[in-house]
Structure 1
Amino acid sequence: MRVTSSPARQPANRTRRPAHGAATAALRAEWVKFRTVRGWLIGLVLAGLLCVGFTFVVANGHHQGICTGAGNCTAGHPFVPNGPGGEAVADSYQYYTQPLIGDGTLTARIGSLTGVIYTGPANQAPSTAHTRAGLAGWAKVGILLTPSTRQGSAYAAICATGSHGIQFQHNYTRDQPGRSGTQTSSSPRWLRLTRTAETITGYDSDNGTTWRQIGTTRLAGLPATVDIGLFATSPVTYQDGATGAATQATATFNDLTFTGRTASGWTARSIGMSPRDYYPTLGAGSTHRSGANVTITGSGDIAPAVATLAGGSTASESLLFGIVVALVVVIVIATGFITGEYRRGLIRTTLAATPQRGVVLAAKALVIAAVAFTVGVVATALAIPLGHHALTTNGNYIFPTSTTTQVRVTVGAGLVLALTAVGALALGAILRRAAGAVTAGIIVYVLPNLLGPGVLGPGAPAATWLYRASPAAAFSVFGALPRSALVSYPFTLANGYYPIGSWAGLAVLAAYTAAALALATYLLHRRDA
């Protein structure tokens, strides 16, 4: 009987690794390569140290002469209050108030609302001697309830504004807009504010009979006795150009109706309008009562604070130059991670071990991204507290930032370095020569950050374009200054505000890096090793 044997299996079929196995092996190999080059490891440590060191140098050289925090101001330094949420706020207004014990309601008719705008020299203290008639868009007059007249206290208010209609606002950052329309003597408005336990509700009316609810809120921890009354305030306006002008608003109230228990009569108070307060005001506030009419004149604002007016800064601003220096070091290391193999001819060995060229490039990208991200996060986590300490030691006012913002800046720094490192790696694969790749990386990823504010000037349209459409857009992730739709303010690059959102800016950088990586992958497949 004949016995036949089956043909032998091809050895290649037994030794061929699956795709995920090849990727894992390539990733492990690239990590071993990276960590065995001492110069690259030293370079990464140097990048982190330079970031921390330059952040401290920049912060230590900043002497602003503003108070070190709410309640910690010395003589001659303006006071910047913090709101209930810890944010920096403006809290300046004229108040005509009386205590309210328990529940109650205050109703008033606004008979007229007028204003003036300062037109004098910008380098002088604003005064009513140089004004023109005009009403700021965010001038506010109406009824306000607060547990305390201390600046930064919680509050709720129903108010008429210069050009934003009727608004129900509370705790500086919260707003519930009502009807549009401008308050005039021929079109008066009735306003009503009601307290029920900790719930405050605002209403408005065209006739004092038919009421519309505009908004409601709960002020947690509201004491039994609160202040409730009429107020007027008017902020700095930018209606005449980029330079802000102080304004003043005057409102006449009548038909006052108060229901509830009170411990005393009406009292006029000027809140946040003294020389020790930071917010620019136009003249002193005043209150005049004649029979049923109450005329209140006020200046200032009740809203989130903005950087230029408060004179503050953030520790992340001091971080920027250190990040730029770290980027240069990372670009040198990332390009060398691949150009070094071309220079020594080792790229042939690498591609022989892993024939899937795209897998090799992806493995290198993951390794360099991971190490760059780690350096960015660790360096930023160390640099920001150090910069904060230097700034406060020199008497600078630091804008309060939330934990979310601090995490975003720290993680964002890691992502900026990681994306830049991958982009530089791709340029190395495209150009194959270290000098050319490093030069290209600095031109693409670093130069726009130096040209923007340093050469073109932060107010130049070209600088704004760079921070929208170039990799410099990613630096918007370091923006920690607050913005608010409740403030009439030019949130421009010249005033310290980036022209694009944080994550949108990172997306712009990611697009540049993805394009470079795609071209590098294409060329790696098309060209000989």
Structure 2
Amino acid sequence: MSSFTSSPTGSRDGFRRLLRARWAGLRSARGRTLAMAASVLVTVSLGLLIAGGVRSTCVTSAGEGPCPAPLVGPDGTAVSDKYYFVHQPLKGDGSITARVSDLTGQMRQPDLVPGVRNVKHGAVPWAKAGLLVRRSLQQGTSYAAVMITRGHGVRMQHDFIHDVAGSAARGPRWLRLDRSGDLLTGYESGDGRTWTRVGEARLAGLPETVEIGLFATSPGALWTMASAFAQATATFDRITLRGASGSWRHDDVGVTLGPDGRTPHHPGGAVESGGKVVVTGGGDIGPATVEGGLRADLLLSGGGLGLILVLVAAVMFPPAERGRSVLAAEAVVVGAVAFVAGLVAAGVVVPAGLALLRAHRNPIQPITLGTELRVIIGYAALAAISALLALGLAALVRSRILAAGLAVALIVVPYLLASAGVAPWLLAITPAAGFAITQSVPAFAHVDVGPSLLEGHHPLAPWAGLTVACGYVVVVLGAAIIAHRRRAAPA
């Protein structure tokens, strides 16, 4: 009696034959090919239509015209640099010490009566006030600051994107900022005698003479789909300087001017009295994740509709019983074709759309080459993952129409709802979380953003969102294989 065993070589040859057969089947099916091609056409056409139709304009004292390019910091990130500064020059090494005895402010809330401004006392969580050393008053230049915030305790920040947490204290707090060459060190104290180091920053190329002093600022109050006016007001006392002995200068750095080009809009200010300085300012010193210009991911707004066609193509294989090997072969072919379709679509619409936006003199959110490649390749990966999910659903429920409907409901519908500002939390718990991989605006822990996808931020980080989508694919394909085994098992 002879016995037969399957060899690894035979298994590999059999799988290769399955791959060739599935690839031939895909090529011969005109409907699937047209669906994939149409997905590319839809994604590219809608993206270029958006890019071609955008014309950003700003009104200044000179009239209406193109908006200026976003302000960028030392590393090229779009930044906001608006604050009120009470300062004097410091030549060489030195320090400033002060107690921040109070931090409050005002912020606008949604109007209760139409046309009547609803401004309340209080401050947003990232309202900040403290001690600041800057290279110069020119916006976007290097700086270091130690500060208290309304809701995040004591912080040491420098060059807009760097943030170190100190204590969680919210009440009166002593602060000190030392300069030694190009090294700035921040300290905090509860009594002005025992000091704790918060952090340090080395500002390369810092000139001998810098500006040192007191500042206050506040980002806008977040509403559901917008931000509104907010200001911070801080009271400083027990102020001492080492290395500087001039008179205080007052500057409302970056204040927005009205249409006449002369009148400040929501100006800050400072009052000196009895050894105290009360400083009021609005704006922010930090990354500009919303106001930094048009985003690259907007060019993939048609990607959700394009994925519908990818999902339809993925479920169009013959509805025969799918064993593990057959399903694996189908997954390789469908995933590869969907990846290529997504890569072509994103690889065309993102760079071409950005070029079109720039040609029309629109302000563009700065984007690094690495981020642009992640958006393009990430969308291709999302297309492949979406196709695999649809394929797994088709094998599980054994109905093309039902599988396509389920895939659209799980991937496309949550994305479209979130894009309209409805239920953004769906992008954290459904396969639509994978769209996070296309986020082109960096996220920072020290910047609060609104919950709306319209501001360019997803609930999950890019790779975390893609991981959630991959998890759904693994579960669905695994369930499809188990279901096939049960159906194939003898009664």
Q: Which of 307, 324, 333 does residue 367 from structure 1 map onto?
A: 333
Distance 1:399 1:150 in 2: 20
CA contact (8 A) 2:252 2:268 kept: yes
Please state how far the C-alpha of 1:450 moved relative to its aligned partner: 5.3
CA contact (8 A) 1:163 1:181 kept: no
Correspondence for 2:318:
338
CA contact (8 A) 1:365 1:425 kept: yes
Q: In the TM superposition, what whole-angstrom CA distance separates every residue of 1:6-54 from its partner, at most 9, and x where no partner exists?
A: x9x78x7799953233323433443344446566555544432332222
Q: In the TM superposition, what whole-angstrom CA distance separates every residue of 1:466-511 from its partner, at most 9, and x where no partner exists?
A: 4333332222222233433323443344644323333333334334
- Are positions 1:198 and 2:164 aligned together? no
Please state how far the C-alpha of 1:289 moved relative to its aligned partner: 3.2
- Are positions 1:47 and 2:47 aligned together? no
Segments of 5+ residues of structure 2 without an aligned counterpart are none
Correspondence for 1:294:
277
| Structure having the larger proportion of residues in strand | 2
Correspondence for 1:268:
250
**One-letter code of the match for 1:193?**
L
Correspondence for 2:79:
89
- Are positions 1:443 and 2:405 aligned together? yes
| Inter-CA distance 313–16: structure 2 relative to 1 (3 Å threshold) | closer
1:379-398 to structure 2, matched below 5 A, reads 379-398=345-364
- TM-score of the aligned structures, taking structure 1 as reference length: 0.78
| Inter-CA distance 392–440: structure 2 relative to 1 (3 Å threshold) | farther
- TM-score of the aligned structures, taking structure 2 as reference length: 0.84
- Are positions 1:104 and 2:68 aligned together? no
CA contact (8 A) 2:57 2:66 kept: no
| Inter-CA distance 57–527: structure 2 relative to 1 (3 Å threshold) | farther
**One-letter code of the match for 1:232?**
A
CA contact (8 A) 1:120 1:126 kept: no
**One-letter code of the match for 1:191?**
L
Correspondence for 2:52:
60
Instruction: Look up the SS of the partner of 2:315 in the other structure.
Output: helix
Q: How many equivalent pairs are there?
A: 481
Correspondence for 1:142:
130
Distance 2:22 2:390 in 1: 16
- Are positions 1:253 and 2:239 aligned together? no
Instruction: Look up the SS of the partner of 1:464 in the other structure.
Output: coil
Distance 1:15 1:137 in 2: 65
**One-letter code of the match for 1:475?**
F
1:162-177 to structure 2, matched below 5 A, reads 162-177=150-165
Q: Which of 498, 505, 518 does residue 478 from structure 2 map onto?
A: 518
Please state how far the C-alpha of 1:252 moved relative to its aligned partner: 3.2
Segments of 5+ residues of structure 1 without an aligned counterpart are 1-6, 68-72, 352-356
Please state how far the C-alpha of 1:430 moved relative to its aligned partner: 4.9
Please state how far the C-alpha of 1:522 moved relative to its aligned partner: 4.2
Please state how far the C-alpha of 1:448 moved relative to its aligned partner: 4.9
CA contact (8 A) 2:67 2:363 kept: no
Correspondence for 1:4:
none
Please state how far the C-alpha of 1:302 moved relative to its aligned partner: 1.2
Please state how far the C-alpha of 1:452 moved relative to its aligned partner: 4.1
Q: In the TM superposition, what whole-angstrom CA distance separates every residue of 1:295-348 from its partner, at most 9, and x where no partner exists?
A: 3221221122242xx274312123132x23432332343333434xx5xxxx9x
Distance 1:14 1:483 in 2: 52
Q: In the TM superposition, what whole-angstrom CA distance separates every residue of 1:387-437 from its partner, at most 9, and x where no partner exists?
A: 2233334454332233343233222211221122223333444566xxx51
| Inter-CA distance 485–200: structure 2 relative to 1 (3 Å threshold) | same
RMSD, aligned CA: 3.7
Instruction: Look up the SS of the partner of 1:468 in the other structure.
Output: helix
- Are positions 1:480 and 2:472 aligned together? no
Distance 1:126 1:392 in 2: 39
* Percent identity of equivalent pairs: 35
Q: Which of 10, 14, 22 does residue 22 from structure 1 map onto?
A: 14
Q: Which of 206, 212, 236 does residue 196 from structure 2 map onto?
A: 212
Instruction: Look up the SS of the partner of 2:459 in the other structure.
Output: coil
**One-letter code of the match for 1:87?**
T
- Are positions 1:231 and 2:215 aligned together? yes
CA contact (8 A) 1:141 1:232 kept: yes
CA contact (8 A) 2:82 2:282 kept: yes
CA contact (8 A) 1:237 1:488 kept: no
Distance 1:442 1:289 in 2: 68
1:292-441 to structure 2, matched below 5 A, reads 292-307=275-290, 310=291, 312-321=293-302, 323-339=303-319, 357-430=323-396, 436-437=399-400, 439-441=401-403
Please state how far the C-alpha of 1:158 moved relative to its aligned partner: 0.9
CA contact (8 A) 1:445 1:471 kept: no
Please state how far the C-alpha of 1:76 moved relative to its aligned partner: 7.8
Instruction: Look up the SS of the partner of 1:268 in the other structure.
Output: strand
1:149-164 to structure 2, matched below 5 A, reads 149-164=137-152
CA contact (8 A) 1:173 1:484 kept: yes
Distance 1:116 1:359 in 2: 65
Distance 2:462 2:271 in 1: 48
CA contact (8 A) 1:126 1:283 kept: no
- Are positions 1:467 and 2:433 aligned together? no
Q: In the TM superposition, what whole-angstrom CA distance separates every residue of 1:169-214 from its partner, at most 9, and x where no partner exists?
A: 112222222222223xxxx433211111221101122333332211
Distance 1:470 1:114 in 2: 40
Distance 1:13 1:190 in 2: 79
Distance 1:431 1:249 in 2: 58
**One-letter code of the match for 1:417?**
A
Please state how far the C-alpha of 1:243 moved relative to its aligned partner: 6.1
| Inter-CA distance 15–258: structure 2 relative to 1 (3 Å threshold) | closer
Please state how far the C-alpha of 1:95 moved relative to its aligned partner: 0.8
Instruction: Look up the SS of the partner of 1:338 in the other structure.
Output: coil
| Inter-CA distance 324–491: structure 2 relative to 1 (3 Å threshold) | closer
Distance 1:63 1:95 in 2: 35
Structure 1 or 2, whichever has the larger Rg, is: 1
CA contact (8 A) 1:104 1:196 kept: yes
Distance 1:126 1:445 in 2: 47
| Inter-CA distance 448–363: structure 2 relative to 1 (3 Å threshold) | closer
